[in-house]
Structure 1
């Protein structure tokens, strides 16, 4: 889309007026986050249908999505039988064309019904439509009565919806006529919807009292659209791109667009360039209102833009200089223009962050450096102007932007130290990176900072780990090891080697054993200290997956070293790690007691990182024991600690995943999904993403969500990494089988199952191998029920699963339930399925219980016990419906029809029972002859999603193509459904 400079200047009041002038060009077909607002409009129409006078005043800033919402409402209203008339106010001011929106609406009416709609009174309406002839000499009140009578007559047959757009530009006559219709005429079966821009309503705007009066009128609703939250921005970006956006892209665009859908769309269009620059079209729109300000106000706005999105009056006054009266006069002009707003704390805020960005980017190079230097000097003299906590970071920012390298170096390090004291590791990491970048550009930086380049490298690497920037940390650690003399500083070398090993392991590129063993060699000769004891514990943890005995031995050595030093913090850390390593050699209850003791000690010492780590392990152990409520509570307790010490992207993700896993077991799926969304937003790096990724992929598969595919693809992609923890590998192999089963691809499920059961670690990790064996057995059961060519291969796989099941330990309730389910899947029979159902009841997990109930229903039906089959299906449907597990509900429906359990007289047309409501809607559009692209437009989904729906419909109806599917729709009368 191209906008000329002249076009922008022609819209002299609004920075986004071009959006309103060309709504079809600039508005997206996507609407997200407006479900409640759409429901409010539909409720208003419902009230109008019942005979109540009804009006909605719909407000919101430019670009917020008012037009898109109204379009969607009109589409549904018209399909429900309402008639629509639309008019738009013109930007001509109070002296402009009177009654413009009503003239447009009546012109639309004449075009639709012809002049006869006026029943011979064309001359009376000629004041609104000059083309009707010479207007009569009637007074204005009579004209208002005529319009009201016309609308009332039109609404007698069908409800009438009158849309009046851009009410902020309405002339006095238009407002008076609207007031008459709403307050005096009180027209039944007529809904008036008027839209206006809130960012146009300066203090003296005539619409302000008009809106205030209407708030007291019965039947009038005032609705103001909010900006999208971060999740809404993510949904909009996903719809625009047709794929799940990267969390950092969402964060970047949401921070800059601040939830304005138009801004989001414009920035998304430049996403290929990393959203770095504001698109020229949007920049022109943003600066159009700035260009209309007096020069003094423009100067103040430019200086304010250098200070950030929010700025205080006192700081701005110091930087601007001059008289206070001149500053206040300039600020008043900017406030009236709705470019900045008073924030209620004695300061100001740019209404849109992108306006500030555009103004700032428009500065000349010399002006840019000079103004940033003035801000830095003002804050160094009076840091309290922004608060002592914020001042170091702001001073560092301004000196860096002013290109004063020595001052930028020193201030960046000071700001980094302050950020570290507040556990703001992400901010600290960025500042330390800036210090490293400036190191070579400043003479004698070590003297300025009082530390060496090696000190700085190690500090930056550690902070990068805490911030979750693992690849950056790996590069910094490698650089630090290259600068270090390990013989002279063995503990430091060991510390760096341990970190490097962990980083390589988390990246999935190495097991880190070589680095850990070299670190242990250096530590054996190092003097005893608290750090040495804690490093020994870290070495033990890193080596345990490679050599369990070696890891256990070093863990005991670490505990002994900490005990000798009488250092409680080191002893707690070593004890937690020892409890993890010994999980397989001592009872879970003993390991749990050990870790709870360590957590208690961590609370007593106030060592929050250790406490958060302990709660990760405690919640995980409680889950393994089947104590899901306690597991959820422990994980929930730990998350605030992870936030407080700035490890949300690492330790916090594990706590969120553990909490979600327990909630999933308890059947609280919506809460679990919210936790997983929170973890996804943190964007943990490397294999640290797997805890939330695996759970959310499974959840979306279980609910039949179309968004499962990208999550599964991303998760399974980790299988290509050469060094992956056995637990993660088994879970990913299980997910691959599940995905194929949900897709109905039995051949792919068998192939995935065959690869999975060949894993050497499968018997050693029962918690993760039992779900995998259950999925593999399900693939075998599906194959046995179908027409499989390689029958011998299926039989071999069945025997392999049976042998593995016999060899895999059953330590906890879930293990026993999975074992019973595997036995039922392999050998069938109502008794085995009853055992699986009872085992899952005892364990407490809801979804596996519903799966087992359906298995029991099928086995009971085959055995002729219809009563048990019916009861089992009924309970399974109740559980699945409560969870929102659509595939299970569909499977239950299919099973009911197959075994003849559907109650007689149900109205569902034969042949379409298995279709969801959305699929029935798609089928109607197929029958009307629409392409996938057109279906996508009508239903506001992506073309790919529409294609998936059509493919599923064809498969479920057992037809060959779209034509046959359309024939089924016509035969069953689906085109007549509403």
Structure 2
């Protein structure tokens, strides 16, 4: 039961409640109806009775409630008399005196009391724990529900299913009552996974991780009481199983017959499902005794008997029993399991390995662990394979030959890489390289480079590939692999010309002696670079061919590589956003089924989210990223995902979350490539601008231009736009002087983009042109030449690219320039409304606030339903765009306080004060603290 004041919500029972009310109202010919709710302990029978009784009482029914007692000398009719006593003194019409002693008279007396209490209302009699009902109570139910008591009555009772064993007298009563049309027996099932998750989140909070909620479901089997207890432990940070649950389960186990007790202990120690022949060897009972014992364990709701074997109904039972068994008993039980499985050639290697380990026999476990690892690899279960190879290394002691340990290290390193544990893969590889029988130098370079690239250390990875290619004893196949991987890495670095050359080299080598994986990787790199630089149709055809080859091979690495390049090309340079999102999602589904959810699937979902972001479907992008984050990726995969999520945080205005993600990205990006570094720095600049920190934005952009070499003019275009925007914002605020040297450098970049666009493929050129137009428009703003035309051209360009955010931003600036000229108000109104509609649809809160602030200052209504007031704005209206906290900060600014002094007064950090001040400047369209103070004093 829930503790007082901490009752959990009723979850997953709405349909059952409605059915109960309907069944209890559907009386039979005798004027009676009954529902007997059965189910295991803790499944929620009592709560269901309570909720049904409350609902029927609210509907006008008379309700009486009682509970049976688990004692042998309970007085006759105890639950019914208890219910009558709770009802208070009998009405005048009721018979006087106590209950008679004679049985027939007693039944008649109770019937009259019930009839008197009900009067003209429907009467509901609620009886809990009916499995403990005495003989008189059972007789009363038969008497009343058969209509012999001449009282219109509905009965709702709860029965513990595990108690109805053998010749329990209530079984005969229920069998008799089932013959009546108005009697129903309802077996209440545990909650399903969704219901359990809802219950856990209601108790432990909405932020509970999905895997924690799933673990509660697996441990509880959906039993609401158990799930509630585990959820409270989760909420309160308790790791150990509560004494309450432990004692409840131990008491129930103790109620089992002797052989059933042994069966439950055995299944708890097994790897589910436990097959019947294996169980018979472990518990060592005769066939008849074993079947009877299993039947009792099933009847007591401990065990589920299914086609593939036996399972515990609640995995929590295994946790409880594990602490009740002596170590020697546990070892002996696992040894019997191992010996039973070893006798079967088709036995599961993982189960066999587990039992030999638990039996304390590591050397006998090792062959089974290795076999289990190989089984997992064949099924592309890379996380499972990594776990088994790691266990194999731990089990391999002094008796393992040197060559055996070297082989284990090699497998452990590769499996760590496959499941996304890139740092561990590198550590294993270094240990492997130090052994006398290590693989060849070229092989080590190739593997180290591959692991480094996956970890996000691209610069070091490039060096390793170059070393491999320079080795004289590097075989043609190794050279093909090195060139193919290097081509892919150069794509990541944004060096498309170099990538194209390496991809062609790899294809030539692969034709002589190359693996399918090298052919796929080189083709994908060649197709991407060709589509970007020269011919989109030809490049796409090459990548699509690579996808076909990869799907025929069936290997996750091949399929993942091909789908990544295709989806990235479509959603990025070629701007085929809808198709790119579909390809990314389709590829993600395929790769999840192939066991690489933590690596390729997460990266494809990041690509899908980026595409959704660009088309303005931010809420859907958020859902996609939340799903991908459940895999907890690492290395370059995590960076891709964090960059995609950070774009959303910046757009939504969640500054703290964006900061956290950017810090995490910077930590992981040791030597990262342009396709990670430039977006990270662009996001830093965008976040700094929303905060009014224009110097920080400038520094981020300049770092990107200085530190990163890239042929990707699209990435440079985004960065250059943010750089010029930061200078324009600085100019508008007046807080930070415009850096003319920075502006000159950005103009050089814009010129380079314009020149380079002529050599790029047409779709790529169109995207670059869009950023060139934004940059030109920002220059007009920076140079105090308010002109709506450049902004209108930019908005139209981005409309054609079907990217609503830059189009809406251009419309905001178009309106600003039109209002500054004071001659294009109609144009400004239209542009502001369109921009605001887009910002609201996407959930771009900071952007929407900036649009609203400009509209408020200009007295422009943002919806056509509003009345346009073209008169002068009152000073007080200027402060209407500020939040309450911003008003407090502005009042302190007007007093002449510094940010530090304001922070002390308002109990907030100096940094937070700076954020508020930046927002105030943006909303009031002022550049200095003096101007802001003047606005405040005028309004006051």
CA, structure 1 residues 137+533, in 2 after alignment: closer, same or farther (shift >3 Å)?
closer
Q: Does 1:593 align with 2:541?
A: yes
Matches within 5 A, 1:218-617: 226-229=191-194, 232=197, 236=200, 240=204, 245=209, 255-257=218-220, 278-343=241-306, 345=307, 347-383=309-345, 388=346, 391-441=348-398, 443-445=399-401, 452-484=404-436, 489-503=440-454, 505-506=455-456, 508=457, 511-522=460-471, 524-528=472-476, 530-542=477-489, 548=495, 553-565=501-513, 570-580=518-528, 585-606=533-554, 609-617=557-565
Displacement of 1:574: 2.6
- Determine the C-alpha separation between the residues in 1 that align with 2:723 and 2:878: 31
- Determine the C-alpha separation between the residues in 2 that align with 1:163 and 1:825: 75
CA contact (8 A) 2:662 2:684 kept: no
Aligned to 1:899: 860
Displacement of 1:221: 12
Q: Deviations over 1:908-956 (max 9, x none)?
A: xx9999999xxxxxxxxxxxxxxxxxxxxxxxxxxx9xxx9xx99xx99
CA, structure 1 residues 353+858, in 2 after alignment: closer, same or farther (shift >3 Å)?
farther
- Determine the C-alpha separation between the residues in 2 that align with 1:367 and 1:289: 21
Displacement of 1:408: 0.7
- Determine the C-alpha separation between the residues in 2 that align with 1:484 and 1:45: 77
Q: Which sections of structure 1, spanning at least 5 residues, go unmatched? A: 1-19, 49-53, 129-135, 154-160, 917-943, 957-978
- Determine the C-alpha separation between the residues in 1 that align with 2:777 and 2:341: 73
CA contact (8 A) 1:413 1:431 kept: yes
Q: Which sections of structure 2, spanning at least 5 residues, go unmatched? A: 25-32, 100-105, 758-763, 869-876, 884-907, 921-940
Displacement of 1:567: 5.8
Displacement of 1:596: 2.1
Q: Deviations over 1:538-582 (max 9, x none)?
A: 244446767957665544432222223376553333332344556
CA, structure 1 residues 137+265, in 2 after alignment: closer, same or farther (shift >3 Å)?
closer
Give the greater-gyration-radius structure (CA). 2
Aligned to 1:653: 602
Aligned to 1:618: 566
CA, structure 1 residues 339+606, in 2 after alignment: closer, same or farther (shift >3 Å)?
closer
CA contact (8 A) 1:296 1:330 kept: yes
Q: Does 1:730 align with 2:678?
A: yes
Matches within 5 A, 1:33-112: 34=11, 89=67, 92=70
CA, structure 1 residues 699+438, in 2 after alignment: closer, same or farther (shift >3 Å)?
same
- Determine the C-alpha separation between the residues in 2 that align with 1:483 and 1:293: 56
Matches within 5 A, 1:115-134: none
CA, structure 1 residues 57+792, in 2 after alignment: closer, same or farther (shift >3 Å)?
farther
CA, structure 1 residues 717+349, in 2 after alignment: closer, same or farther (shift >3 Å)?
same
CA contact (8 A) 1:734 1:756 kept: yes
SS at match of 1:792: coil
Displacement of 1:358: 2.1
Displacement of 1:478: 0.8
- Determine the C-alpha separation between the residues in 2 that align with 1:231 and 1:687: 35
Displacement of 1:737: 5.1
Matches within 5 A, 1:811-830: 811-820=764-773, 827=781, 830=788
CA, structure 1 residues 772+178, in 2 after alignment: closer, same or farther (shift >3 Å)?
farther
- Determine the C-alpha separation between the residues in 2 that align with 1:864 and 1:41: 67
Matches within 5 A, 1:125-274: 139-145=109-115, 147-148=117-118, 226-229=191-194, 232=197, 236=200, 240=204, 245=209, 255-257=218-220
CA, structure 1 residues 392+198, in 2 after alignment: closer, same or farther (shift >3 Å)?
same
CA contact (8 A) 2:37 2:158 kept: yes
Displacement of 1:697: 4.3
Q: TM-score, normalised by structure 1?
A: 0.69
Displacement of 1:84: 14
CA, structure 1 residues 321+492, in 2 after alignment: closer, same or farther (shift >3 Å)?
same
Displacement of 1:412: 1.2
Q: Does 1:845 align with 2:806?
A: no
Q: Deviations over 1:123-175 (max 9, x none)?
A: 789999xxxxxxx998545544555559789xxxxxxx999988988976799
CA contact (8 A) 1:86 1:104 kept: yes
- Determine the C-alpha separation between the residues in 1 that align with 2:768 and 2:254: 70
CA, structure 1 residues 723+489, in 2 after alignment: closer, same or farther (shift >3 Å)?
closer
Q: Deviations over 1:167-210 (max 9, x none)?
A: 98897679999999xx99799xxxx9999988888898779889
CA contact (8 A) 1:698 1:735 kept: yes
Q: TM-score, normalised by structure 2?
A: 0.72
- Determine the C-alpha separation between the residues in 2 that align with 1:671 and 1:798: 37
Displacement of 1:290: 1.0
Root-mean-square deviation over aligned CA pairs: 5.9
CA, structure 1 residues 432+584, in 2 after alignment: closer, same or farther (shift >3 Å)?
same
CA contact (8 A) 2:38 2:160 kept: yes
- Determine the C-alpha separation between the residues in 1 that align with 2:389 and 2:145: 61
CA contact (8 A) 2:43 2:188 kept: no
- Determine the C-alpha separation between the residues in 2 that align with 1:693 and 1:138: 75
User: For this pair of structures, how many residues does the alignment match?
Assistant: 836
CA, structure 1 residues 350+870, in 2 after alignment: closer, same or farther (shift >3 Å)?
farther
Aligned to 1:790: 735
Displacement of 1:261: 6.8
CA contact (8 A) 2:142 2:177 kept: no
- Determine the C-alpha separation between the residues in 2 that align with 1:894 and 1:146: 72
Matches within 5 A, 1:863-878: none
SS at match of 1:423: coil
Displacement of 1:621: 0.3
SS at match of 1:626: coil
CA contact (8 A) 2:490 2:499 kept: yes
SS at match of 1:512: helix
CA contact (8 A) 1:533 1:570 kept: yes
CA contact (8 A) 1:124 1:138 kept: no
SS at match of 2:630: helix
